[in-house]
Amino acid sequence: MNFESFLHDGMSYVGSVDAVRQTYYVYEAGDTFIIFSLSQTKKNSGNFNLVPRKSVDYVYKCFAGYEEMTSKDVLLRAKRTKHVASTLVALNILYVITAQDRARIQDVGSHSKLFFEMGPTLTGDV
């Protein structure tokens, strides 16, 4: 993934996700998504992560219809593939799918663990 080509392709806004402590803003360009979050402690700064569309498509295909899953569940199911390298990558993929209105944050469990719901009841396109 080349960041410069991502910027040159132009970004389109996908949506935002309100998580436990933060709001994440998702954009897309070509076959990549970028997730921005603003720092809560440092003024005028933030973070971003790049997520390949192939990884998002893979996770959506594997988990469509699941009513309760975590980023750890996604990692365990995809650990033999190159789509999901860590729970942080899995969480970012889930944020992209949520920003696309194809999933939602269902609940917050112990230690602020997020549970996601992804299924045909959310959109008619599964």
Domain ranges of the chain: 3-117
Q: Which of residues 6 and 67 earns the better pLDDT score?
A: 67
Other Cβ atoms less than 10 A from the Cβ of 48: the count is 13
Look at residue 8 and tell me whether its pLDDT is greater than 80. Answer: no
Span 52-101, pLDDT tens digits: 999 999 999 988 888 888 999 999 988 788 889 999 999 999 999 999 99
Looking at 1-126, list the stretches that DSSP marks H as alpha helix, in order from N- to C-terminal side.
Answer: 3-9, 53-63, 71-78, 87-99
pLDDT band at 124 (very low <50, low <70, confident <90, very high): very low
Q: What pTM, to 2 d.p., does this model score? A: 0.85
Collapse the DSSP code of 6 into the 3-class scheme (helix H, G, I; strand E, B; otherwise coil) and give the result.
Answer: helix
pLDDT at 27: 96
Distances (CA, A) of 98 to 14, 42, 80, 90, 92: 10, 26, 24, 12, 10
Report d(CA 7, CA 4) in Å as an integer.
Answer: 5
Q: Which of residues 6 and 32 earns the better pLDDT score?
A: 32
CB 84 within 8 A of CB 59: yes
Span 9-53, pLDDT tens digits: 688 999 999 988 899 999 999 899 999 999 888 989 999 999 999
Look at residue 5 and tell me whether its pLDDT is greater than 70. Answer: no
Give Cβ neighbours of residue 68 (< 8 Å, ≥ 6 apart). 106, 107, 115, 116, 117
